[in-house]
Amino acid sequence: MTDLLLGRSAALPASPEDAQLDRVPNPHPDTDYLARFTAPEFTSLCPVTGQPDFAILVIDYVPGDWLVESKSLKLYLASFRNHGAFHEDCTVAIGKRLAGLLEPRWLRLGGYWYPRGGIPIDVFWQTGAPPKDLWLPDQGVAPYRGR
């Protein structure tokens, strides 16, 4: 764990592909619980116009042996600021990268995107069914009505 971004100065990665995403051991691997990260100011670029796109991302996961380290997650998500991709691509790519790194019991990602061309595009991705008896709160982002 000496190569973690945690506890040292780190620059904003140039792209999501260049971003280091760290994991740390889960102190309760025998317990199903939900961990949530909310990124209310997520930004990427439209791959056609180069204009910024904005979203609220809500990441819910049930850890297995690993937790995502929050500083590396923050830098990874910020690396999308200069990344051109459609809403669907950004949302699904983040979910797949986290699932691959963490090997969680379950993970879902809600991408609540602000309108582009007058139409909001919300994107949802998950690894499968959540564990039985898991308390699964609503993600707390209302359907678009002038967010």
Catalytic positions, please?
A: 46, 53
**Closest listed residue to residue 73, CA positions, set 50, 94, 49, 48:** 94
Query: Does the annotation flag 17 for ligand binding?
Result: no
Q: Which two tokens stand for residue 105?
A: 């019991």
Query: Does the annotation flag 87 for ligand binding?
Result: yes
Question: Could you tell me the strand order of the sheet in which 122-126 lies?
Answer: 35-45, 52-62, 106-113, 122-126
Query: Does the annotation flag 83 for ligand binding?
Result: no
Query: Does the annotation flag 68 for ligand binding?
Result: yes
CB distance 73 to 21 below 8 Å: yes
Query: Does the annotation flag 70 for ligand binding?
Result: yes
Annotated binding site: 68-70, 87-88
Annotated binding site for substrate: 68-70, 87-88
